[in-house]
Amino acid sequence: MPEAAPLGFSLARLRCVSARLVPFEWAWARDNADLVAENWRRRLAERPGLFDGPVLLACGVRIADGHCEAEFFETRYARFIAFRDAGSPDARVANAFAAVVPVARDGAVLLGEMGGHTANAGQIYFPCGTPDRDDLRGEAVDLAGSAARELAEETGLSLPPGAPEAWVLLRGEGQLAFLRPVPFPESAEALRARMERHRAGEAEPELARIVVARGAGDIDRARMPGFVRAFLADRFAARAPGLGAAQG
């Protein structure tokens, strides 16, 4: 039974997650082709570097005894971004993604602020991305691999030996956020320094900076997406108003 979580999300604690690619006819995207095209023109005018490549969205999810099975289908990024910009109007489809949540030795959680050249510039969340063909293993969608790959690409971190397999699924706002909290042996400052060194060495880093959240007071209402705020509020047992801004 999913638990209630803040901000209208439901929360489920999972022992394992599996996903597969299935055929799916997305009627909403077909019936709103003009809206998709116009939205893409607007997006390209704002950020010419965007690429309309193939991405995977979810069209089904089942949870039983701590095991989640998700179904994905392939579509174009322009269709996905139009769907998201329209407020995720098709309840059968969800923006599903996986992310490793780096947890420092002292219990702090580390996140990244997206760079100004990205589609989500200024937002603060965990290293993640919409799954794509690189995450396919035959018909299986490798969500754990997707999360580990995004973590490595954006922060330079690899999973420590024996990293736990437990997941937290946050469901709401047209999203399925599969979050995998992973403890690291370093303190928050040491871990952030390691991540910043990787970021500084990139020609065009995806992240503008690394952010540390130590408690409910570090939840940034303005720049953290709902799934991030819901996760942190649950983790820090925060239910009261008056939340502040995350540390830079």
Instruction: State the SS3 of 150-172.
Output: HHHHHHCCCCCCCCCCCEEEEEE
Give residue 244's pLDDT band: very low, low, confident or very high (50, 70, 90): very low
pLDDT tens, position by position, 119-163 = 777 899 999 989 999 999 999 999 999 999 999 999 999 999 999
Check pLDDT > 50 for residue 243: no
pLDDT digits (tens, 9 = 90+) for 157-187: 999 999 988 999 999 999 999 999 999 999 9
- Written as six digits, the tokens of 100 are 């490793």
pTM for the full predicted model = 0.89
State mean pLDDT over 44-71: 94
Task: Annotate 187-205 with b (16+ C-beta within 10 A) or e (fewer).
Answer: ebeebbebbbebbeeeeeb
Cα–Cα distance between 167 and 177 in angstroms, integer?
10
Res. 242 pLDDT band, cuts 50 70 90? very low
| CATH level 3 topology of 15-235 | Nucleoside Triphosphate Pyrophosphohydrolase (3.90.79)
β-sheet bridge partners, residue 137: 140
Q: Which region, left, alpha or beta, applies to residue 184 given φ > 0 means left and ψ of -120 to 50 means alpha?
A: beta
Q: What is the mean pLDDT of the chain?
A: 91
Q: What pLDDT sits at residue 245?
A: 47
